[in-house]
Amino acid sequence: MARKIRVLVAKAGLDGHDRGAKVVASAMRDGGFEVIYTGLHQTPEMIVQAAVQEDVDAVALSILSGAHMTLFPRVLELMKEKGIGDVLLTGGGIIPKEDMAALKQIGVGELFGPGTTTGAIIEYIKNSARAGTGTAR
Amino acid sequence: MAKTETGPAPKVTRSPENGAPTTPPPLFETLSGIPVQPLYTPADIAPGLEERLGKPGQFPFTRGLHPEMYRARVWTMRQFAGFGTAEHTNQRFHYLLAQGMTGLSTAFDMPTLMGYDPDHAMSFGEVGREGVAVSSLEDMEILFRGIPLDQVTTSMTINAPAVVLLAMYVAVAEKQGIPPEKLGGTIQADMLKEFIAQKEWICPPRPSVKICVDMIEWCAKHMPKWNSISISGYHIREAGATAVQELAFTIADGIGYVEECRKRGMDVDEFAPRLSFFWDVHNDFFEEIAKFRAGRRIWAKLMKDRFQAKNPRSWQLRTHAQTAGVSLTAQQPLNNVARVAIQALAAVLGGTQSLHTNSMDETLALPTEEAATVALRTQQIIAHETGVTNVVDPFAGSYYLESLTDRVEEEAMAYIKRIDEMGGIIQAVERGFPQKEIADSAYRFQMQVERGQRTIVGVNRFGGDEEVSIPVLKIDPEIERRQIERVRSVRAKRDAGKYETAMVALRDACMSDKNLVPFVLDAVRAYATLGEISDVFREAYGVYREPAVF
């Protein structure tokens, strides 16, 4: 039997807006993923450590505080350092289009803004996460 | 209760012929899940309406707090503002006052809200982004430069380190030669809703509430014109609560603070007149008006009957309101102007004392000056063009609205009873009860949207392909570096002896039952930074970590 896709839903930095992260986590769980939620106020180091320990197929980072241009690159850099550079890093929040494009350039996956359906996020992770395709992104 | 259904995720219904998703029938219910009839008649109003309403300005204040409401004075137009450094926000304040705004409202950045100095590792990338960075008294002096603090009222949206900002405000006023008794305004300082919804904390719930009560007590003695707390439903609603849950959990928080103050031996009439509230105003027009009216009635009855308050001012639920940020869409952002106007109208018809209207661009970033101006103009149009201010509580007697007001009250009271049975709101919060109810409602709403049972114009219906782009405020990353330099220079140039003395006294006070306000005041006068004072709290009371449940 195929292993369930394991996703780490993470909240980085000081941002306390967890409505979206929790809704997405619930939808992923009901959509058949194994979901690990970090809780609030995690540093990039804590998030990457959790991703390694939990052997996840994707990290989904939620940032609504405007700090995405510092936090996404930092998490990505640490993932590479810790040998999980093949794990999908995706996420969502209040992220302007041009910032999304810049983050994609450095290797971050699709980023989702307000109005996205949970179905679209689940579909994307199914197709792009490590376990979903059997290969690295 | 109708709106607390839990269990497995709702499934998309599919046509038996071809498996295509089918649109479920429209929901004839309010956003709280209260069923709505096609028509209301006198039969829908329970006997005793006149008693439930009272006269405007009289118990139980269903019809409003003042006999003449907006004929005598329109609500305070108070636009929340703050970004970058103190200089940037000071400029925005001067601009907004020049545009006819009548009260200031300060938004702080995340490090300030969480009690960190800008050079702390947790502040990385967040300085000045979501509000203004205030790290020491020096920033506060710049923030209010050129604004005589006895002539404006100021609202400060800050909670975990609220006592530090209150002390800084008092200290800035001192430097302007204004004593605390002349200061008017509000400090949010509502920690219970932080644990429930907004999630900005330093210490665990009990010491956090202790510090809130210190402020209520100190303000009752020294700042008679100051609202020592703003018991907030706004964040609870934004986190996903329904209108009924917002009302219930917020009033339950209010009950919690009143009980803690009474445990300290304070007389309810000493502090209750300065308790204030803060509602969200969402899209369900009639339910929102009903919520404002039901809220006043519930609070008046609680204060008079349960807490035996004698002063009629103690019975009054005075409230600020803000349109629902969460209802705004990033798609077709100009549509948000219409949403905000309708929500603002509901707040006015509900009888709010002050109002913030959101800017159309707030799902994208902090507002630009142009967007903030349109938001303020929206209030001015409601106040001065529509005629709604001419008549007090104009919907009173409407079969639908009165029946809905009763129903909202009844459902909120059922929640309040459950929380009482748990031993009060602090216990309920420690058990995660309101948190779970809110997360369930947020999920339920999202699934309704995804099934097409709820319409969000421009998102799940009437979407256009064309991208509408509006200007967005950019925060210069340079601000972080400048703020770090400033706080370091404050630490270097302050009188080290005075600073040490004040900090030692504060540490000792934290180990006792003493009211902390005077000690924090001495510390900020000695230019102790916000992060340093918050560290004293962390050492004394510990740091809160939320159990990560979803």
**Virtual CA dihedral for A34, A40, A41, A46, nearest 10 degrees?**
-20
B361-373 pLDDT tens trace: 988 888 888 999 9
Do A15 and B122 make contact, defined as CB atoms within 8 angstroms?
no
Q: Which residues of B touch A66 (CB under 8 A)?
A: 126, 129-130, 365, 475
- Domain coordinates in residue numbering, chain A: 6-133
Number of H helices, E strands in chain A: 6, 5
Q: Which residues of B touch A30 (CB under 8 A)?
A: 8-9
By percentage, how much of chain A surpasses pLDDT 70? 94
The DSSP bridge partners found for residue A59 are A8, A89
Do A15 and B110 make contact, defined as CB atoms within 8 angstroms?
yes
d(CA B255, CA B260): 9
Of A23, A69, A115, the CB nearest to B442: A23
Q: Which structural domains are found in chain B, ordered by start?
A: 42-451 (3.20.20.240)
- CA angle B28/B33/B34 to nearest 5° reads 75
Closest-CA residue to A93 (of A69, A126, A125, A129): A69
SS3 labels along chain A: CCCCCEEEEEEECCCCCCHHHHHHHHHHHHCCCEEEECCCCECHHHHHHHHHHHCCCEEEEEECCCCHHHHHHHHHHHHHHCCCCCCEEEEEECCCHHHHHHHHHCCCCCEECCCCCHHHHHHHHHHHCHHHHCCCC
Closest-CA residue to B52 (of B44, B63, B41, B43): B63
B457-500 pLDDT tens trace: 999 999 876 666 778 787 788 999 999 999 999 999 999 999 99
d(CA B171, CA B173): 5
Beta strands A88-93 and B275-281 are unpaired
Mutation site, B199, B360, B445, interface A, largest A CB count within 10 A: B199
On whether the CB atoms of residues B132 and B108 are closer than 8 A, the answer is yes
pLDDT of residue B1: 34
d(CA B180, CA B222): 6
Nearest chain A Cα to B438, which residue? A19
What string of pLDDT tens digits covers the 550 residues of chain B? 333 333 334 445 555 566 655 667 778 999 999 999 999 999 999 999 999 999 999 999 999 999 999 999 999 998 888 889 999 999 989 998 898 877 899 999 999 999 999 999 889 888 998 899 999 999 999 999 999 999 999 999 999 999 999 999 999 999 999 999 999 999 999 999 999 999 999 999 999 999 999 999 999 999 999 999 999 999 999 999 999 999 999 999 999 999 999 999 999 999 999 999 999 999 999 999 999 999 999 999 999 999 999 999 999 999 999 999 999 999 999 999 999 999 999 999 999 999 999 999 988 888 888 999 999 999 999 999 999 999 999 999 999 999 999 999 999 999 999 999 999 999 999 999 999 999 999 999 999 999 999 999 999 999 876 666 778 787 788 999 999 999 999 999 999 999 999 999 999 999 999 999 999 999 999 999 999 999 999 999 999 988 877 8
pLDDT of residue A37: 96
φ and ψ at B178, to 5 degrees? -110, 125
Cβ neighbours around B475 below 10 Å, total = 18
On whether the CB atoms of residues B503 and B529 are closer than 8 A, the answer is no
φ and ψ at B320, to 5 degrees? -95, 160
Beta strands in B272-345 (DSSP E): 275-281, 319-323
Do A115 and B443 make contact, defined as CB atoms within 8 angstroms?
no
Task: Classify residue B6 as left (phi > 0), alpha (psi -120 to 50) or beta.
Answer: beta
pLDDT of residue B355: 96
Considering chain A, what is the average pLDDT of its residues?
92
DSSP string, B226-270: EE-EEEE-HHHHHTT--HHHHHHHHHHHHHHHHHHHHHTT--HHH
On whether the CB atoms of residues B63 and B394 are closer than 8 A, the answer is no
Do A14 and B443 make contact, defined as CB atoms within 8 angstroms?
no
On whether the CB atoms of residues A5 and A56 are closer than 8 A, the answer is no
Do A69 and B116 make contact, defined as CB atoms within 8 angstroms?
no
Q: Which residues of B touch A38 (CB under 8 A)?
A: 548
Listed by number, the residues of chain B in 173-212 with a beta carbon closer than 8 Å to a beta carbon of chain A are 198-200
- Sheet strands side by side (includes A88-93): A34-37, A6-11, A58-63, A88-93, A111-112
Angstrom distances, CA of residue A57 to CA of A52, B53, B221: 10, 58, 58
Listed by number, the residues of chain B in 348-377 with a beta carbon closer than 8 Å to a beta carbon of chain A are 363-365
Do A40 and B546 make contact, defined as CB atoms within 8 angstroms?
yes
Pairs across A and B, CB distance < 8 A: 106
On whether the CB atoms of residues A19 and B240 are closer than 8 A, the answer is yes
Residue B498, min C-alpha distance to chain A (Å): 32
Of A14, A17, A70, the CB nearest to B111: A14
Please name the CATH architecture into which domain A6-133 falls: 3-Layer(aba) Sandwich (3.40)
By percentage, how much of chain A surpasses pLDDT 90? 80
Residue A7, min C-alpha distance to chain B (Å): 14
Of A41, A70, A117, the CB nearest to B125: A70
On whether the CB atoms of residues B284 and B30 are closer than 8 A, the answer is yes
pLDDT of residue B14: 58
pLDDT of residue A137: 40
d(CA B93, CA B282): 26
Q: Give the amino acid at A50.
A: A
Q: Which residues of B touch A41 (CB under 8 A)?
A: 114, 122
pLDDT of residue B16: 59
A108-121 pLDDT tens trace: 999 999 989 999 99
Do B130 and A65 make contact, defined as CB atoms within 8 angstroms?
yes
Q: Does B121 touch chain A (CB under 8 A)?
A: yes
Do A14 and B8 make contact, defined as CB atoms within 8 angstroms?
no
How far is C-alpha B483 from the chain's CA centre? 27
Do B550 and A21 make contact, defined as CB atoms within 8 angstroms?
yes
The residue written with tokens 């093949």 in the block is A86
A29-57 pLDDT tens trace: 999 999 999 999 999 999 999 999 999 99
How far is C-alpha B495 from the chain's CA centre? 37
Q: How is residue B302 annotated by DSSP? A: I
What's the ipTM? 0.89
Task: Pull the structure tokens for residue B70.
Answer: 């907006």
On whether the CB atoms of residues A11 and B200 are closer than 8 A, the answer is no
